[in-house]
Structure 1
Amino acid sequence: MQVALVTVGDELLAGDTVNTNASWLAAQLTGRGVAVERVTTVPDRVDDIADVVGAYRDAYDAVLVTGGVGPTHDDVTMDGVAAAVGVDLAANGEALAYLTEHGGYAADDLSEGTTHLPEGARVINNDEGVAPGCVIDGIYVFPGVPAEMEAMFASVADEFAGAEPFVATVETPEPESTLLDRLAAVRERFDVTVGSYPGDHVRVKFTGTDEERVEAAAAWLRKRVEPLAEPAGTAAGEE
């Protein structure tokens, strides 16, 4: 299963808000064996949302959209999603009933931004807030508030599944540039995904659906790189 993530918000593009939703969703999906192929951030503009969501809907099995859902003037994500699939926004009786019966809200106090969804959409109720999400034509729409998004994703998480991934890592103090030949060799020998991530040291990550193959690839490289020094106080016999 291949998916794309779209995060909506001028505040994300301006750096006012850290885009934790994208990394959280990517981790959740990857852990379920789903391949996240794209992560894109767009402004609070209907046309931009519609263009990106529409293109990704045609290219991937599902599109997950977060942000820009609610009653304020810049909450235009539902408008963009509706435009992407060629439908109008309309009052959703199920969303209204849930908000009044379970949320305790009076119907007159609810704006169109919390009760109008793309026509034909399936409601994702929001137990942590007000604005509901929805699913339509493989597009999953969640609010941008992390607690709300995370709870709502949990309610549909079983709809995202793939082969269970296995991961192994090798860490070394050697500079990444000196590892190129060994990284090329391990990629040739083993049918696994190899990622190299430099920082205070280099972390090489092996991922695949065959646990033995992943472990074999990591073991092969581990024998051929300089290991990280043991932290002080961890030598044999020390407490």
Structure 2
Amino acid sequence: MNVAVVTVGDELLAGQTTNTNATWLCERLAERGVDVERVTTVPDRIGDIARVVNEYRAEYDAVIVTGGVGPTHDDVTMDGVAAALGRSLEEHETALAWLEEEGYSRSDLTEGTADLPAGARPLHNEVGVAPGAALEGVYVLPGVPAEMRAMFASIEPEFSGTETYREVVVADEPESALLDRIAALREQFDVSVGSYPGDSVRIALESTDETTVTEAASWLRERVETPAN
């Protein structure tokens, strides 16, 4: 299963808010064996949201959109998703009924709180108020991290793939000096390799076969200089 993550918010693009939602979602999806192939941040503009969602839903098995959910003037994500899917926004009775069960009077709710794309499945907000939505492989979640995480937990079983195993080998050598050994590793073992330089070089090995990853990591550790403890 492959997925695209779209985060919505002018504050993300301005650097005023750290995009922890994207990182958290990528980690959780990877744990479930799902390939995240795009992470995109767009402003609070209906046209931008609609364009990106429409493009990604044609390319990936699912699109997860976070942020801009609610009844305030800059909460336009539901409008953008509705436009991408060619749907109108409608007040969702099931979502309203759930909110009433939680103690919210319809008359006290801000207008638009339960407006979702027509035909969408509401995703109840266990932590906040504004519901999310799921429709045609597009999942719309709130931007508040606690609300997003709780809502994702309710749909997490819908995301699955092949489990991937990972080991990291740390080399106390220049990255350029490791190229021949990395090439030999890739020839001998069916693993994907990522090389991440810093004070030392972190070499990440991944495979769907746990034994292969373990053997590849052992092989490499025997052939690189490791940092002194």
Give the secondary structure class of the aligned counterpart of 1:225. coil
Structure 1 CA distance for aligned equivalents of residues 84 and 184 of structure 2: 45
Give the secondary structure class of the aligned counterpart of 1:129. coil
Cα gap change, 1:112 to 1:181, in 2 (>3 Å): farther
**Alpha-carbon displacement from aligned partner over 1:92-127 (angstroms, at most 9, x marks no partner):** 00110111112x111012134311000000011001
Structure 1 CA distance for aligned equivalents of residues 88 and 27 of structure 2: 33
Equivalent in the alignment of 2:28:
28
Runs of at least 5 residues in structure 2 that lack an aligned partner in the other structure: none
Structure 2 CA distance for aligned equivalents of residues 124 and 115 of structure 1: 11
Equivalent in the alignment of 2:206:
207
TM-score, normalising length: structure 1 = 0.94
Runs of at least 5 residues in structure 1 that lack an aligned partner in the other structure: 231-239
Structure 1 CA distance for aligned equivalents of residues 206 and 111 of structure 2: 45
Worse overlay, 48-57 or 199-208: 199-208
Equivalent in the alignment of 2:177:
178
Q: Quote how far apart the aligned CAs of 1:215 are.
A: 1.0
Equivalent in the alignment of 2:134:
135
TM-score, normalising length: structure 2 = 0.98
Equivalent in the alignment of 2:71:
71
**Alpha-carbon displacement from aligned partner over 1:137-170 (angstroms, at most 9, x marks no partner):** 0001000000000000011101111111111110
Report % sequence identity. 64
Whether 1:150 and 2:149 are equivalent positions in the alignment is yes
Structure 1 CA distance for aligned equivalents of residues 199 and 118 of structure 2: 51
Runs ≥4 residues deviating over 2 A: none
Equivalent in the alignment of 1:52:
52
Whether 1:4 and 2:4 are equivalent positions in the alignment is yes
CA root-mean-square deviation: 0.9
CA contact (8 A) 2:91 2:112 kept: no
Structure 1 CA distance for aligned equivalents of residues 166 and 49 of structure 2: 34
Q: Quote how far apart the aligned CAs of 1:173 are.
A: 1.3
Worse overlay, 179-188 or 29-38: 179-188
CA contact (8 A) 1:69 1:143 kept: yes
CA contact (8 A) 2:82 2:88 kept: yes
Structure 2 CA distance for aligned equivalents of residues 119 and 191 of structure 1: 46
Q: Quote how far apart the aligned CAs of 1:75 are.
A: 0.3
Whether 1:41 and 2:41 are equivalent positions in the alignment is yes
Structure 1 CA distance for aligned equivalents of residues 197 and 220 of structure 2: 16
Structure 1 CA distance for aligned equivalents of residues 121 and 192 of structure 2: 36
Structure 2 CA distance for aligned equivalents of residues 191 and 78 of structure 1: 43
**Alpha-carbon displacement from aligned partner over 1:167-211 (angstroms, at most 9, x marks no partner):** 111011111121112112212221111111112211111111101
Structure 2 CA distance for aligned equivalents of residues 76 and 20 of structure 1: 20
Equivalent in the alignment of 1:115:
114
Give the secondary structure class of the aligned counterpart of 1:113. coil
CA contact (8 A) 2:141 2:151 kept: yes
Worse overlay, 136-145 or 174-183: 174-183
Equivalent in the alignment of 1:225:
224
Whether 1:91 and 2:88 are equivalent positions in the alignment is no
Alignment length (residue pairs): 229
Equivalent in the alignment of 1:233:
none
Equivalent in the alignment of 2:104:
105
Give the secondary structure class of the aligned counterpart of 1:141. strand
Equivalent in the alignment of 1:164:
163
Cα gap change, 1:201 to 1:113, in 2 (>3 Å): farther
